[in-house]
Amino acid sequence: MLVSKLYAPTLREVPAEAVLESHKLMLRAGYIRKIAGGLYTYLPLAWKSIKKIERIIREEMDAIDSQEIMMPIVQPSEIWKESGRWDVYGAEMFRVRDRHGREFCLGPTHEEMITTLVKNELHSYRQLPTSLYQIQSKFRDEKRPRFGLMRSREFIMKDAYTFDADEAGLDESYQKMYDAYARIFDRCGLNYRPVEADPGAIGGNGSHEFMGIAASGEAGIVYCDTCDYAADVEKAECEALPSQEEAPRELHTIGTPGCNTIEAVCEYLHAPIEKSVKAVALTSDKGGLILCFVRGDHEVNEIKVTNAVGANEVMMASDEQIRAAGTVPGFMGPIGLDLNKCTILIDATVMNMHNVCCGANEVDTHYVDAEPCRDFVYTKVLDIRTAHEGDQCPHCKGHLKEARGIEVGQVFKLYTKYSEALHATFLDPEGKEKPFYMGSYGIGVGRTLAAVIEQYHDANGAIMPKNIAPYEVIVLPVNVKDEESFAKAGEIYQALNAQGIDAILDDRDERAGVKFKDADLIGYPVRVVVGPKTLQRGAMEVKVRYTGEMCDLPLDGDYVSALKDILSKTL
């Protein structure tokens, strides 16, 4: 490829909506262009990188005997109605009608379709396990498309599905896929961590997310400083914290005028926040008020609440809903309420506390010296708080640390959720009909590219890892008007490509400074400069983008091997 021919229009100014460095750089360097919210064109640079990521994925999928297929993007609503997800998926699903008025969706994921496929084709335990995958555009009408390729509305996903005869088989298929994901992200150069995850709308239980570590990541993760426990904060289990024993005192109310936040109450009463209980009022798609109580300085974890009440999603309750249950916004407490009018969930830590303060379900009033075990009414006591830095690890004596991550992939054990719903069965050795044990596995291809750039860039631009860089080496003649050095640069460029190095030649009649800047912005892993001065030394000057290291390579030596060696050692 010649830079003079490359369609990579650079931008001086990026739109203000681009806040992540990766998004800005991909726009500035001419990797992508936006067409509308969450819809992007991949220009040649991004497309070359994407193709390299896809190739890595294909190699690793093939290595675990997963076979590539291609399913339709447009999916009939019937199969989604059969699984029960047509209504559950909500506004995120792009829905369309054909000319006869029949409903379809643009696939946000393909569990229904693949299950429908195999139920007509896989009949016997002898055909199991089977593993199938595709790399295809997915459609999700995200509430807030943002961050460029990271959260777009049309994006490329590798989705894989496994079918096994039993749980042991599923465990094995899951582990194989998990290991393949680790190899894929290793090869992409990503700094990642697998974490325990909540399965969300996909369902089933048993799931891991692969998180690219980045301060700007949308996901919170916690990990143990001692053992290898790591989890999405949505999922991370919290131990019930112990409290010091205290002699119980008598429950009484106290006026707390205008104190409708827990912080205000504690300040007014000069009480430590760890001796208070705060309320969060939620409702769900199933309706009904859910009052959640946690220690004043803890946070309610909405995913845990969603799972506890068996809902698809929870949202803030309205003031009317709160009042209808016999309490008042700002002064809610789990004492004296009618459990027929609301669900009360109490975090396990709260039940260990003593002489606490909480709302008294009356305006400007709180209870003090409440004993949760003695005074609280509840539907369930369970873990509903969000894990935090310093919490004890649920698996060992270590403590949790917090980090942020970009979810680049997720693996799910679906068990028989979809096979049962869609009546997908096979015959076991005794000739008995059994539902498949399924797994589902996704990788965001574009998000992986964006996550890598988010991790590896500097003030001058992207720093592309060699395995997914659009080109591995840029050969940069300082002055194309200098015939001898330009010819030499062309010769090097030819030699590199002939011997399997993906090289590009900057043949533009531009100042060297401009070319250097562009090369840094795009982030080619290795830059080879040839000019009258380097020729005088009988050399080319090599610079590694990641480390900034420079060296001369003699022109009369085996420089191709030397460059392969340099590439093998860099990011």
The one-letter amino acid code at 547 reads T
For ligand ATP, the binding residue among 23, 28, 140, 413 (CB under 6 A) is 140
DSSP 413-448: EEETHHHHHTT-EEE-TTS-EEEPEEEEEEEEHHHH
- Chain residue at closest Cβ approach to Mg ion: 410
| Dihedral of the alpha carbons of 80, 86, 89, 94, in degrees to the nearest 10 | 90
For ligand ATP, the binding residue among 49, 134, 152, 173 (CB under 6 A) is 152
In three-state secondary structure terms, 320 is helix
For ligand ATP, the binding residue among 405, 444, 461, 470 (CB under 6 A) is 444
Report strand pairing: 380-382 vs 343-347.
Answer: parallel
- Chain residue at closest Cβ approach to ligand ATP: 444
Spatial contact of 235 and 206, defined as CB atoms under 8 Å apart: no
CB-facing half-sphere around the CA of 383: CA atoms within 13 A: 12
Q: Which is nearer to ligand ATP, 216 or 497 (CB)?
A: 216
In three-state secondary structure terms, 210 is strand
Tell me which of ligand ATP, Mg ion, none is bound by residue 331, counting a contact when its beta carbon lies within the kind-specific cut-off of 5 to 8 angstroms.
none
Tell me which of ligand ATP, Mg ion, none is bound by residue 152, counting a contact when its beta carbon lies within the kind-specific cut-off of 5 to 8 angstroms.
ligand ATP
Q: Which is nearer to ligand ATP, 28 or 447 (CB)?
A: 447
Q: Which stretch binds Mg ion (CB under 5 A): 25-33, 51-59, 77-85, 404-412?
A: 404-412
Interaction between residue 151 and ligand ATP (CB under 6 A): yes
Q: Look at the chain and count its residues.
A: 571
Interaction between residue 440 and Mg ion (CB under 5 A): no
Interaction between residue 361 and ligand ATP (CB under 6 A): no
Q: Which stretch binds Mg ion (CB under 5 A): 101-109, 296-304, 307-315, 407-415?
A: 407-415
Q: Which stretch binds ligand ATP (CB under 6 A): 60-68, 364-372, 443-451, 544-552?
A: 443-451
Query: Going by C-beta distance under 8 Å and a sequence separation of 6 or more, which residues neighbour residue 140?
Result: 92, 93, 94, 108, 153, 155
C-alpha distances in angstroms, 521 versus 21, 213, 238, 291, 518? Answer: 12, 22, 44, 52, 5
Q: Supply φ then ψ for residue 503, to 5 degrees.
A: -115, 155
Query: End-to-end CA distance of the chain, in Å?
Result: 23
Min dist CB 237 to ligand ATP, Å, is 19
Q: Which is nearer to Mg ion, 127 or 205 (CB)?
A: 205
Interaction between residue 409 and ligand ATP (CB under 6 A): yes
Tell me which of ligand ATP, Mg ion, none is bound by residue 140, counting a contact when its beta carbon lies within the kind-specific cut-off of 5 to 8 angstroms.
ligand ATP
Q: Which is nearer to ligand ATP, 410 or 419 (CB)?
A: 410
For ligand ATP, the binding residue among 141, 302, 407, 506 (CB under 6 A) is 407
- What is the token pair recorded at 424? 């997908």
* Site for Mg ion, residues 409 to 438, rule: CB under 5 A: 410
For ligand ATP, the binding residue among 61, 157, 195, 277 (CB under 6 A) is 157
CA distance 258 to 265: 9
- What is the token pair recorded at 212? 């690219």
Q: Which stretch binds ligand ATP (CB under 6 A): 2-10, 121-129, 394-402, 404-412?
A: 404-412
Q: In the complex, which residues of this chain contact ligand ATP (CB under 6 A)?
A: 109, 140, 142, 150-152, 155, 157, 200, 407-410, 442, 444, 446-447
